[in-house]
Chain A
């Protein structure tokens, strides 16, 4: 897959001295959905701001489909649509007028058929004559997406698109993002909803303290960093783990850990999901030998959220 956005050694230090980005390099593939995760202040919005031309970078280089964003800013910016995090709208304009304005601003001639398609796609067609100030927050978010799509961009940046929208609208938006990807648009989104990234993104990048600490295919990330847990609810509580239980049961398992929780009522065994020797059979055998009965068991897999939190802890 070819690269549509290339970011090389990007750095940003604000006038206050705050270093928002530190030597960030990243290639975005054409047609993918890329999710950029990171805590507040990690540098996500600054990164997007530089690529889109809202913020001046301090170091590095950015190319959009081969066009340097400084030297060839017209060609580069014409390919990008941006939906910012803040709901910034022209309150007194109608939905139709503001969407048409966006198309003209990006150097495209009138195409009312396209504007109509976008508005219908976002369920805004019936609201086209309404002033933006009369719309709900969710509808305003849709208007911002419509404005970003008005000039038919090849890359769409969605900065926290789900912030403050209800579940139904969020699911609508996910469906729309997938349709755009199917139509060939490259999507780069930042989000605090980890499940959103897990469900939608082809690849995930994690940014922390201005540094890009990880970029990986979502599926590979889940495989590589995902952990499984076996939770055993004991018949009778244990005061402590029997001596040698962990060592004996887990001698063949890699990276397995066994802890006693819930006032001695629960045993939690965490193991590497990729290994062949999980150690479960040995653990159960050893428990039987020690006459430790359990009334129930549950197996679970760590989510992207767990992976994300662990990554941030590692880089704290």
Chain B
């Protein structure tokens, strides 16, 4: 009698024995997927990059230059500078999710996913290609926005290495989250639901424009349920050395979310959920 794990194409068996039988990563495949995705981004550079840069610039004009000049400092940081980490994080979260979800959803939608599924690539390599490209795009956008912000507001980065670390780690984590959304979505509406209905509100309520210490005590406690609070707090600390929660806790929360996303992706590829009937 055939055991379940022995049946053809069964990824549970394949996953377990992959290391023993295949060894190294298929680097050519990772590179092919990565470059393919980056080429798509550069081909639509204006809508991919210019649009978030323009909208973020508007935030700086309104909240930084216009309203910010009439507001006092927060935790010793001028308001115009205070909102920079939150705005970068807002763009980073939405762009990571949107790039990664779109990147994997499009082949599903157009049917070209057959090629990836039939290629000698593992789940790890597929994710590295798609999520890696999405994270790269988001990090580049984040850096572009930081450069743009410098045109409006003077700021210093207290811990540049940590800043880059938070930027990259958050981009990777939310690109993985976007990858999951792209696999889950079976129409374009679903692709937009979570970024628009959940992530953007959480980013706005997560301290992008204020410190949660400015909230009443009760709402401070409620705000701690919001995972984005920890991302923005840690990122802001790397700029100004001030944070709503401890840096260690911020890192732990990002690590936890990263682990959850990786776990879900492993499950998706083991079961073939919505990609391999």
Q: Taking beta carbons and an 8 Å cutoff, which residues of A are in contact with B?
A: 9-10, 14-15, 50-62, 68-78, 80, 82, 84, 86, 88-92, 97, 101-109, 147
Contact = CB atoms under 8 A, between A and B. Distances in A.
Interface string B256-277: 0000000000000000100011
Measured as residues with beta carbon below 8 angstroms from the partner, the interface class of chain B is: 35 or more
Contact of B11 (A56, A74, A102, A106): A56
B120 A73 contact: yes
Contacts of B13: 70-71
Contact of B14 (A10, A54, A70): A70
Interface stretch (B21-29, B97-105, B162-170, B213-221): B21-29
Contacts of B121: 105, 107
B112 A14 contact: no
A77 B118 contact: yes
B114 A15 contact: no
B248 interface: no
Contact of B2 (A9, A76, A106): A9
Given A55-B276, A56-B272, A109-B28, 6 more contacts: A57-B7, A68-B8, A91-B110, A104-B32, A105-B121, A106-B120
A69 B119 CA distance: 12
Contacts of B11: 56, 70
Contacts of B42: none
B120 A75 contact: yes
Contacts of B33: 105
B275 to A, nearest CB: 9
B2 A89 contact: no
Contacts of A60: 2, 7-8
A14 B277 contact: yes
A313 B32 CA distance: 48
Contacts of A78: 120
Contact of B6 (A61, A73, A77): A61
Given A54-B118, A78-B120, A107-B26, A61 B31 contact: no
